Amino acid sequence: MAARGITLGIDLGTTSVKAALLGAAPDDPSGFEVLASCARAARAEAAAESVVAGPQVREQDVSRILQALNECLAAFPWQLLRSVVGIGVSGQMHGVVFWKTGQGCEWTEGGISPVLAPGAVSHLITWQDGRCSSEFLASLPQPKSHLSVATGFGCATIFWLLKNCPEFLKPYDAAGTVHDYLVAMLCGLPRPLMSDQNAASWGYFNTQSQSWNVEILRSSGFPVHLLPDIAKPGSVAGRTTRVWFEIPKGTKVGVALGDLQASVYSCMAQRTDAVLNISTSVQLAASMPSGFQPAQTPDPAAPVAYFPYFDGTYLGVAASLNGGNVLAMFVHMLIQWTADLGLEVEESTVYSRIIQAAMQQTDTHLTITPTVLGERHLPDQLASVTRISPDLSLGHVTRALCRGIVQNLLSMLPVRQLQEWGVQRVVGSGSALSRNEVLKQEVQRAFPLPMFFGQDVDAAVGAALVMLQRNLSQKES
């Protein structure tokens, strides 16, 4: 087993935290090997901290996220952790967490080495947060960016807090995504650093000039001091300030990446590959030709967005809000109905039974449009079920739900468009896909292109791979 030049990748996802240890493997066609990996459910959903926020709020408790991370790292062999020379971090995009500089975390004694615990830090207000209504978003200034602003985007959330509960922001002087927060804490950064991947996901960021829309924001009273400094994705943010789970003090930490870009990086072997990632949400992404520049005005009705990737390139992305989370909602509904009938059933049993039932039901007329959470380009269009026949078995419903998730995505980014971009093959990733044979079948049925399925810790592997391939030989920027 390789024990030199190991990189650690961490992905702070919506449902789970994942970590992977990677080593160089010159004899493998990929050039790397995954030495160990681990995933832990974060179970971080929390009630809103701000009293005015309504039922659409989606917040997560940062201490739960860090606890899941600690569990992942504790599960790795210490011999491998000792050889870590770089840490790459990615996570759920768009969301925002606030903290007080110098007091954002505490290092508590946890056995062999100190453990990171939250200090003066808010909840994470996630990308799934729905507090910004269409009317509220329409009242915000027009961004000078090719990306429009949706609910759950950091800058929209900050505007909402500013207008509805300005007191909430008072104790804090720094903000970032939750993965920017982790990087800032590991390195003791005096000001958070953010890659353009995450900055674009907050809104009011111009990817061409690589700058925030500071004037537009300032003239609307936005607290611009909360905007992080920008750094290149793939560059080094700093070095760890202490030994952490046997990882030596002074280890390089990369600027945090978006989970979308990190997943794509882990499995896009060629520029002609498209990546289909199904985890909590779903993304279908392909490389834009080098030199591609998106139109400079936002189009809120466009189902495809162009997100920054590496080295000034872009990904064309259909990012659906309705993916594995819709299946998870269905599973929780079944558990609740069963409980209402006086019975108890385990979540894992429900997943395996519904998947088994749908494997028996190879086709269905039932049609489910699964957009329970709306889509960013169609926030008010919710889910629907049509063509209901008397045979409404679990198998029919599960198959129709899986098919609906895939068809909804393809209605946003049709295969024809992928082919025009030169896509020749689709790589499937994400744990909602790898754990669900029915979803895989529906993906294979829907794509008239060769399909290849990757691993299920992709964003963590991507974050580690960026460190392995792009950082270790570079000087800090």
Ligand X SMILES: O=C(CO)[C@@H](O)[C@H](O)[C@H](O)[C@H](O)CO
Q: Max CA-CA distance within the chain?
A: 66
Which partner in ligand ATP, ligand X, none is near 93 (CB below 5 to 8 A by kind)? ligand X
Q: At 354, list the tokens.
A: 């519904």
Check binding of 137 to ligand ATP (CB under 6 A): no
CB-nearer residue toward ligand ATP: 217 or 463: 463
Site mask, ligand ATP, residues 143-182, x = CB under 6 A? ----------------------------------------
Which partner in ligand ATP, ligand X, none is near 319 (CB below 5 to 8 A by kind)? ligand X
Which partner in ligand X, ligand ATP, none is near 7 (CB below 5 to 8 A by kind)? none
Long-range contacts of 102-109 (CB under 8 A, 24+ apart): 102/190, 104/174, 104/181, 104/184, 104/185, 105/185, 107/242
Edge-first strand listing for the sheet containing 451-453: 305-308, 314-320, 282-287, 273-278, 425-429, 451-453
Site mask, ligand ATP, residues 278-317, x = CB under 6 A? -xxx------------------------------------
Which partner in ligand ATP, ligand X, none is near 260 (CB below 5 to 8 A by kind)? ligand X
Cα atoms in the 13 Å half-sphere on the side-chain side of 268:
25
Check binding of 14 to ligand X (CB under 6 A): yes
Shortest distance (Å) from residue 128 CB to ligand X: 8
Region of 226-234, 280-288, 296-304, 448-456 interacting with ligand X (CB under 6 A): 280-288
- 252 Cβ contact partners less than 8 Å away, ≥ 6 residues apart: 85, 86, 87, 236, 238, 239, 467, 471, 472, 476
Q: Which of 14, 322, 369, 471 binds ligand ATP (CB under 6 A)?
A: 14
Q: Which of 93, 354, 433, 443 binds ligand X (CB under 6 A)?
A: 93
Region of 68-76, 111-119, 149-157, 273-281 interacting with ligand ATP (CB under 6 A): 273-281
User: What is the b/e burial string over 159-182, where b = at least 16 CB atoms within 10 angstroms of the residue's CB?
Assistant: bbbbeeeeebbeebbbbbbbbbbb
Nearest C-alpha neighbor of 195 from the set 149, 230, 244: 230
Backbone phi, psi, residue 261, to 5°: -65, -40
Instruction: Give the helix/strand (H/E) hosting 98.
Output: strand 97-99
Shortest distance (Å) from residue 278 CB to ligand X: 10
Q: Which of 60, 128, 325, 408 binds ligand ATP (CB under 6 A)?
A: 325
- Can you give the binding site for ligand X, defined by CB under 6 A? 13-14, 92-94, 127, 259-260, 280-281, 283, 319
